[in-house]
Structure 1
Amino acid sequence: MTEHTRWRDRFTRALPATGESKIIALNALIGSVGTGMFLAGSALYFTRFAGLSETQLGLGMGIAGLVGLATTVPMGRLADRFGPRNVLLVVVLWRAIGYIAYLNVNGFTEFVVTACLLFVMDRAGQPLNQALVGRLITGTERNRTMGFIRSLRNLGFTIGFGIAGIALTTGSETAFRWLFIGNAISFLFVFAFVSMLPKVGPATAPKGEDGGKGAASAVVPPLRDWRFVAAMASNGVLFLHDAVLITVLPLWVADHTPSPVWMITVLVTTNTLITVLGQVRVTRHIDSLPSAARATNWSAVLLAFACCAFAASGVVDTPAWAAVTLMAALLLLTVAELLHSASSWEISFALSPEAAQGRYLAFFNLGFSAAEIAGPAVVLWLLARTGSSGWLILAVCFPLAAALSWVGTRPRKPAAPEPAGTEPATVSTPTAA
């Protein structure tokens, strides 16, 4: 075998294994480029050219976020009823139209209405995409595909932010508007690729799981499955690592450490590179519920140590030591982030009944959404009140979240045998595992 052939084989093995997973991964890259363009310039556009104050922008986004949070599970139910592919086609087309509609916003009321209508679809996108992966891909390739999605999303966001830098440099309204248009166009490409995927019909329960009816409506709602609720709540707490990285870290470095401000760029870039290169590799070792539970525990431990390192960065005296402690914290946080992401996918898939996967995955996503909405404010408030000690308080929360996850993912006790001579039950209540 020649060297060229060996490299070609390695490259082929590094790609998603199936046609469906390749399309879904490519969609993640395309969509995140557009989203990165939008996120980088949207706040400035709305405050400069759409007649909003910073307070109105924050309030409007908060209202829209709550609306999106409230409609996530109903959207998942639609995926179970009509198939995740069909619902996702509607979602991406709606998002393309919605981002163009933002360009006609002028004032607070128009912004809130448009944002609420758009956030219904924005919040539904991630769980619908995961439900589509769950229906089309099986075995170890399923979690591997989720790893590709996350890696390529990080890469896409970086590309999108870079493109948006042109608009931010010029400062012209036309350049800002093209960021919105570019985001809408990216979703049209996503629509085209999703339409190429195999059709996935309504969810049905395996024979005997729902008394023979085969209907998703017969499954216990996720809110009544205490194991799944525990896993969802734990996922929300552990996902605070995202708030730390995106919002808290830049402010902490600039205002609470002697480190130079350019260290923020070094830390964020390091995280992005490790995520892009390492997420798929991590998923290879997390292919069952027990392995996902162990990864969750390790993630919590690493996050606790990362918080301790962040606390140390606020009490050291020199820029050099601040840089060292910040880099140590960043590396610990990044590895924990990779482990938590991979374990959360496996846990959510494993605990979701086949007949209601869309609904369950949407409910599981509520933990992520709640942490994304409230996490930055909660962590910033804690650090503002307690300083470096706040990191130690946060460090305790992660092992507690891992313990809560263990409650939700530990093996069920086997059912007691029926006493001899008794009639078998005619009505059964399905479980979520």
Structure 2
Amino acid sequence: MTERTTWRHRFTGALPATRESRIIALNALIGSLGTGMFLAGSALYFTRFGGLTETQLGVGLAIAGVVGLATTVPMGRLADRFGPRNVLLVVVLWRAVGYIAYLNVDGFTEFVVTACLLYVMDRAGQPLNQALVGRLITGTERNRTMGFIRALRNLGFTVGFGLAGIALTTGSETAFRWLFIGNAISFLFVFAFISMLPKVGPSVPKDEDGNKTPASVVPPLRDWRFVAAMAANGVLFLHDAVLITVLPLWVAEHTPSPDWMITVLVITNTVITVLGQVRVTRHIDSLPSAARATNWSAVLLAFACCAFAASGVTDTAAWAAVTLMAALLLLTVAELLHSASSWEISFALSPEAAQGRYLAFFNLGFSAAEIAGPAVVLWLLAGTGPAGWLILAVCFPLAAGLSWVGTRPRTEAVPEGTEPEADPAAVPERTESEPEPQPTAVSTATGS
């Protein structure tokens, strides 16, 4: 094999294995690029040109976040009924129109109405996308595809933020408006690529003979194992709040480290995530392996919190930089493990006939942490300082314990006085009264 052929095999082996997984991964890159552009400049646009104060912006986004949270599971039910691909096509088209509609917002009321209508689709996007992966891709490639999605999303956000820097430096309203238009255009590309995917209808349960059977699914809220796993996932996802919101403020206000250290830490996290997420998913391909990864993630997050606490009790900039980098590395590896394990857990515990609504319900933990996490952690640190990190460190192992409750194997109790059912695959023991089985022509031919 020539060196050129070897490099070609390495390159193709590093890509998603199927056409469907490649399209979905490419969608993640395009969509996150547009979203990164929007997020980088949206707050300044609304406060400078949209007639909103900072308080009104915060309140409006909080109201829209609650609306999006309340409608996530109903959107999942629609995916179960009409198929995740069909619903996702509506979602991305709605989002494209919604971001253009933002440009006509003038005042608080218009902003709240537009944001609420858009957040219904924004919050539904992630679980619907995961449900689509679950329907189109199976085996180890399923989690590998989710790894590509996360890695490319991080890359897309970074590029989008970089492009938005042009608008931020000019300060013109036209430049800001193009960030919204660019985001809308990105969703039109996503719509086109989703249209290229195979049509998948609603999932219909079947018996052993392949015949359709009536769907009888326990609602996710009544499945206490799934509720426990969802709640644990929400607590563990606080690592995202720490990275995006808490870390910059902590470095700038509570450590002697220079402000440029924030950029170094964020870039380090992005590079490791882009290069490492897919590799981590290779080792998490079952519920037991996902449970172990969750435990390790919680341990690493606890140690990361201890390192963050250490960075706030030193007067030396060099020592603060060392402890901050150690905390960032521990946080990043824990983040990779938790992301991969959460995908496997949510897939494994979701019944096929209700995968859309179960994945949407599981996503509520993530959404709640995303909405309330920054405020909770900042409040904790503001009141206790470095000791707050130690309090937060205890929460992660407790969450891992809660996740274990939800993911441990089911044990079926056998009523007293009854015999367990015989294994239909077991071969019965031959008694002396039974004749010795004679070989047949078929068995002889097979044996040869």
TM-score range, shorter chain: over 0.9
Choose from 266, 273, 276 the match for 1:275. Answer: 273
The CA distance in 2 between the partners of 1:287 and 1:415, in whole Å, is: 28
Displacement of 1:419 after TM fit?
6.6
Match of 2:199 in 1: 199
Displacement of 1:371 after TM fit?
0.1
Match of 2:436 in 1: none
Match of 2:401 in 1: 403
Is contact 2:228–2:405 with CA below 8 Å preserved after alignment? yes
Q: Structure 1 pair 208/55, CA: closer, same or farther in 2 (3 Å)?
A: farther
The CA distance in 2 between the partners of 1:416 and 1:132, in whole Å, is: 38
Match of 2:181 in 1: 181
Is contact 2:217–2:354 with CA below 8 Å preserved after alignment? yes
1:292 aligns with 2:293: no
The CA distance in 2 between the partners of 1:128 and 1:160, in whole Å, is: 23
Is contact 2:287–2:344 with CA below 8 Å preserved after alignment? yes
Is contact 1:68–1:119 with CA below 8 Å preserved after alignment? yes
The within-5 A match list for 1:319-398 is 319-398=317-396
Structure 1 residue runs without a partner (length 5+) = 422-433
Match of 1:135 in 2: 135
The CA distance in 2 between the partners of 1:145 and 1:66, in whole Å, is: 30
AA matched with 2:246: V
Match of 2:93 in 1: 93
The CA distance in 2 between the partners of 1:239 and 1:292, in whole Å, is: 15
Displacement of 1:207 after TM fit?
2.0
Question: Deviation per CA, 1:234-282, whole angstroms, max 9, x where unpaired?
Answer: 0000000000000000000000000000000000000000000000000
AA matched with 2:275: L
The CA distance in 2 between the partners of 1:322 and 1:366, in whole Å, is: 35
Is contact 1:250–1:264 with CA below 8 Å preserved after alignment? yes
Is contact 1:207–1:214 with CA below 8 Å preserved after alignment? no
Question: Deviation per CA, 1:194-231, whole angstroms, max 9, x where unpaired?
Answer: 0000000012123279x96433xx20000000000000
The CA distance in 2 between the partners of 1:297 and 1:420, in whole Å, is: 38
Displacement of 1:285 after TM fit?
0.1
Displacement of 1:420 after TM fit?
6.2
Shifted more, 198-207 versus 108-117: the winner is 198-207
Is contact 1:235–1:344 with CA below 8 Å preserved after alignment? yes
Is contact 1:310–1:329 with CA below 8 Å preserved after alignment? yes
Displacement of 1:368 after TM fit?
0.1
Match of 2:32 in 1: 32
Choose from 261, 265, 268 the match for 2:259. Answer: 261
The CA distance in 2 between the partners of 1:382 and 1:241, in whole Å, is: 15
AA matched with 1:283: T
Displacement of 1:123 after TM fit?
0.1
Question: Deviation per CA, 1:111-146, whole angstroms, max 9, x where unpaired?
Answer: 000000000000000000000000000000000000
TM-score (norm 1): 0.95
Match of 1:172 in 2: 172
The CA distance in 2 between the partners of 1:415 and 1:282, in whole Å, is: 36
Match of 2:446 in 1: none
The CA distance in 1 between the partners of 2:358 and 2:288, in whole Å, is: 20
Displacement of 1:416 after TM fit?
2.1
The within-5 A match list for 1:52-201 is 52-201=52-201
- Structure 2 counterpart SS, 1:413: coil
AA matched with 2:360: A
The CA distance in 2 between the partners of 1:416 and 1:350, in whole Å, is: 25
The CA distance in 1 between the partners of 2:214 and 2:345, in whole Å, is: 24
The CA distance in 1 between the partners of 2:145 and 2:162, in whole Å, is: 26
Structure 2 residue runs without a partner (length 5+) = 420-448
- Structure 1 counterpart SS, 2:21: helix
The CA distance in 2 between the partners of 1:85 and 1:74, in whole Å, is: 16
Shifted more, 292-301 versus 196-205: the winner is 196-205
Displacement of 1:415 after TM fit?
4.5
Shifted more, 388-397 versus 197-206: the winner is 197-206
The CA distance in 1 between the partners of 2:212 and 2:183, in whole Å, is: 45
Question: Deviation per CA, 1:163-205, whole angstroms, max 9, x where unpaired?
Answer: 0000000000000000000000000000000000000001212
- Structure 2 counterpart SS, 1:10: helix
Q: Structure 1 pair 176/413, CA: closer, same or farther in 2 (3 Å)?
A: same
Match of 2:50 in 1: 50
The within-5 A match list for 1:203-282 is 203-207=203-207, 213-215=213-215, 218-282=216-280
Is contact 1:93–1:188 with CA below 8 Å preserved after alignment? yes
Question: Deviation per CA, 1:373-424, whole angstroms, max 9, x where unpaired?
Answer: 0000000000000000000000000000000000000001034279769xxx
Match of 1:427 in 2: none
Is contact 1:135–1:200 with CA below 8 Å preserved after alignment? yes
Is contact 2:206–2:213 with CA below 8 Å preserved after alignment? no
Is contact 1:47–1:53 with CA below 8 Å preserved after alignment? yes
The CA distance in 2 between the partners of 1:85 and 1:419, in whole Å, is: 50
Displacement of 1:340 after TM fit?
0.1
Q: Structure 1 pair 328/196, CA: closer, same or farther in 2 (3 Å)?
A: same
AA matched with 1:349: F
Identity of aligned residues (%): 88
Q: Structure 1 pair 5/71, CA: closer, same or farther in 2 (3 Å)?
A: same
Is contact 1:206–1:354 with CA below 8 Å preserved after alignment? no
The CA distance in 2 between the partners of 1:9 and 1:356, in whole Å, is: 38
The CA distance in 2 between the partners of 1:212 and 1:337, in whole Å, is: 40
